[in-house]
Structures are given as structure tokens and as C-alpha cells.
Structure 1
Amino acid sequence: MNITFNNRDPVYLQVVRYFKEQIAIGHFAAGQEIPSRRELAALLKINPNTAQKAYKEMEEQGLIHTERNFPSRITSDEAMLSSVREELIHEAVETFVQAIKPIKVPVNELLDIIKEKYEREEKEG
């Protein structure tokens, strides 16, 4: 696990986002066992209470489930898993739109720029 934490957002929310990103790209599969809270805290060098808070948040969102005396697992709810990808896309687009809106770039020009940049990144990446 490799997360670079920023100083803006609470660490537990950054952990939740990391899990969502890993689900969206298929690194975490439905029903997959995930590290214990203590293991996660050690892996990421974060406070165990922060790991606990991240897991609690993910459980409340339905991303993971935990049964007594068993490891936590990624949800098996396929609808939930597919909605994670959509949520991340919508968040990114919303942030982008809010940043670009004051510049008043025509939509067609903007789409051309985005397509060109995206394709260039794919070739280089």
C-alpha cells in the first residue's frame, strides 16, 4: 500500500479515498480480505485510531463489512462497487469544472483539450 498523505484532508478520509481508488481500478475485488486495522496502521504508519475511523467510515458507506472474529472484506455488492468508480469520476469532474468555469472556455474547445491531454498521458503512461 502506497499513499502519499496531504495536509489538507483528514488522514482517515484519505485512507477511505485510497480504498475507493483501489476498488475502482480493480486492485481490490469483491469479497477480498483487507488488512486488519492494526496491520493497516502499521503499513501506512498512521495512528491505529485513525485506521479504525477509516474502517468505520467505509463500513458506514457499505464499502467493507466485518463480522465478529473474521477479517474485514471488501463488499460483494456489485452495484456498490460500480458506484465507487462513478463517484470518483463525478468528484473529479466537479472539481475540474469549478476550477475552469471562471476562464469561460467554450465546451468544444475544452473537450478537445481534455481529449488531447488524456490521449497524450495514455501514450506516455
Structure 2
Amino acid sequence: MQFDQRSPVYLQVIHGFKEQIASRELTCGQEIPSRRALATKLGINPNTAQKAYKKMEQEQLIITERNVPSRITTNPHIVDRVRSELLNEAVIQFVTSMQAIQLPFEEVVTTVKKHLSNKQL
């Protein structure tokens, strides 16, 4: 995972988990590394990993019970919410970029269609 300087590391960790959940790299109920193991793997402070896990618990992305490894939610509605959230973020970023360079709507749509027809989503 590559971290940037624009946002807090714990938020970037959460975003990484969301991307893995949305792409189904992480599946419902799958165990995830301990906070300490994640911190070691990513080269971050254990307190940062703890903060990310706490926030993901609050958002119900992960389930943590005593003496049991944390795991990805089993609630499909939460997974759908994550996918929708990431899609909306990407679309807003794309639309903002297109507005900044003032391309005609039709040209943007034609180009998007062309690229989508060349690739399977």
C-alpha cells in the first residue's frame, strides 16, 4: 500500500479495506490481520492501525468480538453501501475533472463508451 501526504494514514487504510471489500478481494466473514500484524505489514504505527479498525467497527465494515480475530462484515447491505460509496466518489472525481477542462458532454460520453467497450468491468 502506498500512502500519500494528503490525508491521514488511518483513512487511507480504511479506504484500502473498502476497495478490497468492493472488489471482493475480501469476502463477507473473512478474517483480517490483527491490528499489530497489519501495522507491521504496512509499516505504520500500531495506534494508527487501531484507529482504522475502531472506525471500521463503527461503520460496521468489520466485526470484532473478544478473543476472536476481526473479520469482514457478513451484512450484504453494508457491502453494497461500500460499493456504492466508492462508485459515487469515483464518478464525482471524474465529473469534476471533466468540468475543469470544459469538454462537451457528448464528447465525454462518446469517449467513455469507447473505453468501456474495449474493457470488461
Distance 1:87 1:109 in 2: 26
Structure 1 residue corresponding to 2:102, chosen from 101, 104, 110: 104
Structure 2 residue corresponding to 1:92, chosen from 82, 90, 93: 90
Aligned-pair identity (%): 52
Question: Would you say 1:76 and 2:82 are equivalent positions?
Answer: no
Match of 1:44 in 2: 42
Match of 2:25 in 1: 27
1:26-65 superposed Cα distances (whole Å, 9 cap, x missing partner): 1100011000000000010100000001101111111001
Distance 2:57 2:67 in 1: 16
Aligned-pair RMSD on alpha carbons? 1.4
- How far the C-alpha of 1:106 sits from its partner, in A, is 2.4
Larger fraction in strand: 2
Unaligned runs of 5+ in 1: none
**Bigger shift: residues 72-81 or 91-100:** 91-100
- Give the number of aligned pairs: 120
**What SS does the corresponding residue of 2:68 show, helix, strand or coil?**
coil
Match of 2:5 in 1: 7
Match of 2:52 in 1: 54
TM-score w.r.t. length of structure 2: 0.92
**Bigger shift: residues 97-106 or 17-26:** 97-106
